[in-house]
Amino acid sequence: MVRNIFSSLLCGVIIALALTNANAQTSDTASVVIQNDDPLIYYNGRWDSTPETWWVGSGFKLQVDNLSSLTLNLGPYTSDPVALGVSVNYGNFTTVNATQGANVIPLGSIASGTTSVIRINSEGWEDNHMNLESIELNAGAQVLPYEPSKLAFQFIGDSLSAGQYVEEGVDQAWPFLTSEYFKAEHNIQAQPGIALSDILSYGNVHGMSYQFFQTEDTQYYYDAMHNYTTPWNFNRDYPRATHVVVMIGANDSGNNVTSSAFYQVYIDFLARIRLIYPTQPMFIILPWGWPSPDGPPSPYYVGIYQQVVNYRQAFGDKEIYLVNATGWVDYSDVFPANLHPTVEGHQKIAGYFESWLEDWGLVAESEWATPV
């Protein structure tokens, strides 16, 4: 009788140890799943509550220890497909076409046991919705806090800033390249065809003077699953922009908005911008115009950009500057069919603007705030 009791107890101990060992093995081999509301995901750009990306360049960043694999689980609001730019350890961005469901993201060669920084954004100037549900990492991976750069740009523009027609979209456009050069964070509110004036313009039902203050870009109007706008909470921009760059007006000109009307909407727009960024340096770019094969570029709103800056300065704004981009772009820098910058054209523009900012006094960060 005693022997039977002892045998039963021994069997129970063995079974318990086996279950404990099995659970430990399962824990050791199970992947790490991060839900979309995890505070260690550093979101940049504009996301709605789904969460779903809007505007070019919106995405997220992760710092991960012991990373070897990463899968994005995307929901039904995802474009089919959505072009994602992926950068590992601050390397060049490469394009991954993702769809609803599980998407394995190629990471290349990462040394085991090291800490990695992964940056993923929606690079397209249209069909750029990434609906993030969760992120699955390899077993043993540990997500660490991502520390953003001390520099942060806010860019506001149209197709000339959004990377329209270049293969990798905004990731090859001059605003993005400028941000990378200075090792800065960025938000890019730029939409092909959009005017500053709140008018119907080349398929955009609103102008930037309205849309900039919304979570959604103007694609919302054609989106059956999200056909509405929601005001953007600028407190969600972290860090708040340290420098603001505006280049817009081509589509106002294309829609025959008069110089006086454009001037008025511009100064009204900047007054609202100053409520959000009261002291940040603000750079108003006088556009390079439309290049010609047999002559100098054709300008638009001649003198108006200087008048806008003069008005703000007379109003007491000591941190507004005119950036004259005349001569930065010629016919060899654009696609002949649409006069938008090529990859090389965007690189050239970025180089000019980076030099201008350095001459003004901006110094690039020596290294990214989150090291690898």
* The pLDDT value given to residue 28: 58
pLDDT digits 0-9 by tens, 177-209: 999 999 999 999 999 999 999 999 999 999 999
- At 13, the pLDDT band (50, 70, 90 cuts) reads very low
At 10, is the pLDDT very low, low, confident or very high (cuts 50, 70, 90)? very low
Give the pLDDT band of residue 111 (cuts 50, 70, 90). Answer: confident
Residue 221, Cβ density class (10 Å: 0-12 exposed, 13-18 middle, ≥19 buried): middle
Considering only 7-11, 167-171, 232-236, 327-331, which range has the smallest mean pLDDT?
7-11
Is the pLDDT at 18 greater than 50, yes or no?
Answer: no
Residue-wise pLDDT for 255-271, tens only, equals 999 999 999 999 999 99
pLDDT classification of 29: cutoffs 50, 70, 90? confident
Mean pLDDT of all residues belonging to the chain: 93
Query: What residues contact 303, with CB distance under 8 A and at least 6 apart?
Result: none
Predicted pLDDT at 112: 83
Name which residue leads in pLDDT, 252 or 25.
252
Has residue 321 got a pLDDT over 70? yes
Buried b (16+ CB within 10 A) or exposed e, 44-64: bbbbbebbbbbbbbbbbbbbb
Mean pLDDT of 313-342: 98
pLDDT at 276: 98
| Bridge partners of residue 341, in order along the sequence | 334
Tell me: pLDDT of 7 over 50: no
Q: What is the average per-residue pLDDT within 233-240?
A: 96
Q: What is the pLDDT of residues 121-145, one digit of tens each?
A: 999 999 999 999 999 999 999 999 9
Return the sign of the alpha-carbon dihedral for residues 338, 211, 310, 282: negative
pLDDT digits (tens, 9 = 90+) for 64-87: 999 999 999 999 999 999 999 999
Q: Return the HEC string of the chain.
A: CHHHHHHHHHHHHHHHHHHHHHHHHHHHHCCEEEECCCCCCEEEEEECCCCEEEEEEEEEEEEEECCCCEEEEECCCCCCCEEEEEEECCCCCEEEEECCEEEECCCCCCCCCCEEEEEEEECCCCCCCCEEEEEEECCCCEEECCCCCCCEEEEEECHHHHCCCCCCHHHHCHHHHHHHHCCCEEEEEECCCCCCCCCCECCECCCHHHHCCECCCHHHHHCCCCCCCCECCHHHCCCCCCEEEEECCHHHHHCCCCHHHHHHHHHHHHHHHHHHCCCCCEEEEECCCEEECCEEEECCCCCHHHHHHHHHHHCCCCCEEEEECCCCCCHHHECCCCCCECHHHHHHHHHHHHHHHHHHCCCCCCCCCCCC
In the chain the domains, ranked by start, together with CATH numbers, are: 34-144 (2.60.120.260), 152-360 (3.40.50.1110)
Instruction: Give percent of the chain with pLDDT exceeding 70.
Output: 92
